[in-house]
């Protein structure tokens, strides 16, 4: 009876992998960082928050990914101690605050962080990866569909989805895979305002096939799959985790 369990554990194992997670102070980032640490990975999390509570195997550092020099220094520090980076998960991202005026300055700030800085993180971290490395970028259904009032976020996430496909081609010769996870409405601090608005919450829930908002842990399985040997032949792909939002007809 032990054989099937052992087979699956080995297939999806991320034990002893060195995992770097951006945006790890809250929301999707901290959920994935915590999940990988529970799965036996050694996790290094980055975020702008000064300090957060951590779990076993989860070391957190306050660092803004827009500071690329510090990001590279941290990659060097990790590699000197642990040999290499196996997995990079880019969960860092900013959006428009409720009622915030969307001008060109806000647009550029969002694109700078969500797209440009994240792309450079991929480039830098990949220097410290070798065969079997995996980069996982967190995009959004906003990368595929039109939503009102937030063009910078949509442009940045659509760009990141395209960057993921491009890097899958560019890094293939070094056997580094690049994929993205495309969440729908996940209950986080970023989506709190619309979740707490009963009318908006119901409107969004009714648009889903699985009629509930996603929880951050709903993304764990997809991330572990893309980080593990189970997805060794998967690159340039997107896993959509949106409760069916983006494919629902009537």
- Residue tagged active-site, from 60, 153, 185, 195: 153
The Cα–Cα gap between 190 and 94 comes to 8
**Strand-strand pairing, 87-90 and 18-22:** parallel
User: In angstroms, rounded to a whole number, what is the distance separating the alpha carbons of residues 175 and 180?
Assistant: 17
Bridge partners for 36 per DSSP: none
d(CA 114, CA 116): 6
C-alpha 162/C-alpha 31 separation (Å) is: 25
Residues near 97 by beta carbon (within 8 Å), at least 6 away in sequence? none
* 8, 230 contact by CB (below 8 A): no
**Contact 155/200 with Cβ under 8 angstroms?**
no
Q: What angle do the packed helices 151-170 and 118-126 form, to 10 degrees?
A: 20
Active site residue 60: no
Angle between the 151-170 and 104-111 helix axes, to the nearest 10 degrees? 30
Q: Which residues are catalytic?
A: 153
């Amino acid at each position: 009876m032990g054989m099937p369990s052992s087979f699956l554990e080995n297939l999806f194992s991320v034990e002893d992998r060195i995992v770097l997670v951006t945006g790890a102070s809250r929301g999707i980032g901290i959920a994935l960082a915590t999940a990988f640490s529970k799965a036996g990975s050694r996790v290094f999390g980055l975020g702008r928050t000064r300090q957060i509570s951590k779990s076993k195997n989860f070391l957190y550092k306050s660092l803004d990914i827009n500071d690329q020099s510090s990001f590279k220094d941290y990659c060097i520090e990790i590699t000197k101690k642990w040999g290499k980076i196996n997995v990079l998960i880019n969960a860092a991202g900013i959006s428009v605050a409720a009622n915030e005026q969307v001008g060109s300055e806000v647009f550029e700030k969002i694109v700078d962080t969500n797209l440009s800085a994240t792309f450079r993180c991929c480039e830098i971290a990949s220097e410290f990866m070798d065969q079997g490395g995996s980069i996982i970028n967190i995009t959004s259904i906003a990368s595929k569909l039109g939503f009102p009032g937030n063009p910078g976020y949509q442009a940045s996430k659509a760009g990141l989805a395209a960057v993921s496909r491009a890097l899958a081609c560019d890094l293939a010769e070094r056997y580094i895979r690049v994929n993205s996870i495309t969440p729908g409405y996940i209950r986080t601090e970023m989506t709190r305002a619309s979740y707490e608005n009963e009318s908006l919450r119901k409107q969004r829930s009714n648009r889903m096939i699985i009629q509930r908002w996603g929880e951050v842990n709903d993304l764990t399985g997809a991330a572990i799959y893309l980080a593990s040997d189970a997805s060794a032949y998967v690159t340039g792909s997107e896993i959509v985790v949106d409760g069916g939002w983006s494919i629902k007809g009537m």
